[in-house]
């Protein structure tokens, strides 16, 4: 049996993480251009599956196709509702090579798709078809990452079930490369300032047009280690001073949000409870300081 909460030291797989991030952007952009817009960009993420990450069903004229990252057999599968299938091997290969292979597979299946090849939310992006720089791929590390996401997704779903208000699915955003779940107060928020690298300001402003308390998991990009996070938008006064659990959690002034290092969860006597306590306590901190109607938003029908 694999370790449910495996080691995921960022330094050990940073190059693979960068490559995989870009590969998921290629696949995510395919879903983006083929799917009707849903509020807060809920039409673009990927989702956890029993073997990796999936787009879920994507419409194409009068048929459906689906793209799956399989981190067990290490292949990308593109399957259609007509029963046709193409695969692309997940191995050390440049982003440009992966992009060409995916587009060729789509063409063979009669799925003509064109995407914007400029990566999003990444400084100094290289267009996919030109990127011969990033090509590292450690299959074992990618599988460990997926297993961390799998367990996180399970706990995030439990946390999500305690809320009766508007709440996002648990989904994997390929732009920021994180797993996230977001609760909404039901009230409008001040206009977001935008400024996210290579992301249209209108997209960020629509995503944050309502008050939120959001939590998720990062593999470590920009932080140096994998961690769970929780933030509120807009940030209510006194939010950072609220006590949260477990003891290893802290407010990261640079990020403006609470952080719980992944290793603190992995090494806890009860990792599930450690993560749940972080999710619940940080939400309560945000809801208390922003004066959400927590009683009305609490799930009470099913326990």
pLDDT under 70: residue ranges of the chain: 1-2, 301-303
Residue 176, sorted as left (phi over 0), alpha (psi -120 to 50) or beta, turns out to be: alpha
The residue out of 130, 163, 193 marking a domain boundary is 130
Closest CA to 49 of 198, 155, 184, 149: 149
Question: Does 116 share its domain with 208?
Answer: no
**How high is the pLDDT of residue 235?**
97
pTM of this prediction exceeds 0.85 = yes
Indicate whether 303 belongs to any domain. no
Residue 4 forms part of a structural domain: no
Residues 6-53: pLDDT tens digits? 999 999 999 999 999 999 999 999 999 999 999 999 999 999 999 999
CB 94 within 8 A of CB 137: no
Please check whether residues 83 and 172 belong to one and the same domain: no
Domain span at residue 114 reads 10-130
Asked if residue 5 is part of any domain, the answer here is: no
Distance CA 174, CA 172 (A): 6
Q: End-to-end CA distance of the chain, in Å?
A: 31
For the beta carbon of residue 149, count every other beta carbon within 10 angstroms: 22
Q: Clarify whether residues 71 and 176 are in a common domain.
A: no
Coarse DSSP helix, strand, coil percentages of the chain, rounded to the nearest 5 percent: 35, 25, 40
Q: Which two tokens stand for residue 5?
A: 């909460």
Give dist(CA 301, CA 200) in Å, integer.
40
């Amino acid at each position: 049996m694999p370790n449910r909460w495996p080691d995921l030291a960022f330094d050990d797989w940073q190059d693979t993480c960068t490559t995989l991030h870009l590969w998921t952007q290629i696949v995510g952009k395919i879903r983006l251009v083929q799917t009707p817009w849903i509020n807060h960009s809920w039409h673009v993420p990927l989702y956890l599956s029993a073997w990796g990450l999936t787009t879920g069903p994507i419409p194409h004229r009068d048929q459906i196709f689906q793209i799956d990252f399989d981190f067990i057999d290490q292949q990308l599968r593109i399957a259609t509702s007509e029963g046709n299938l193409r695969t692309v091997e997940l191995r050390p290969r440049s982003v440009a090579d992966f992009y060409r292979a995916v587009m060729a597979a789509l063409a063979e299946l009669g799925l003509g798709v064109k995407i914007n090849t400029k990566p999003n939310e990444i400084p100094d992006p290289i267009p996919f078809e030109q990127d011969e720089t990033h090509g590292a791929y450690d299959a074992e590390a990618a599988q460990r990452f997926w297993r961390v996401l799998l367990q996180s997704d399970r706990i995030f779903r439990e946390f999500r079930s305690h809320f009766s208000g508007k709440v996002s699915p648990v989904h994997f955003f390929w732009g920021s490369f994180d797993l996230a779940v977001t609760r909404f107060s039901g009230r409008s928020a001040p206009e977001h300032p935008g400024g996210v690298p290579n992301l249209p300001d209108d997209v960020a402003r629509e995503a944050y047009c309502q008050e939120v308390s959001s939590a998720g998991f990062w593999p470590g990009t920009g932080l140096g280690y994998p961690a769970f996070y929780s933030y509120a938008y807009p940030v209510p006064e006194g939010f950072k001073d609220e006590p949260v659990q477990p003891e290893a959690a802290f407010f990261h002034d640079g990020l403006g949000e609470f952080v719980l290092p992944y290793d603190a969860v992995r090494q806890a006597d009860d990792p599930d409870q450690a993560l749940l306590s972080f999710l619940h306590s940080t939400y309560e901190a945000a809801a208390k300081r922003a004066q959400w109607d927590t009683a009305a938003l609490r799930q009470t029908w099913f326990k």
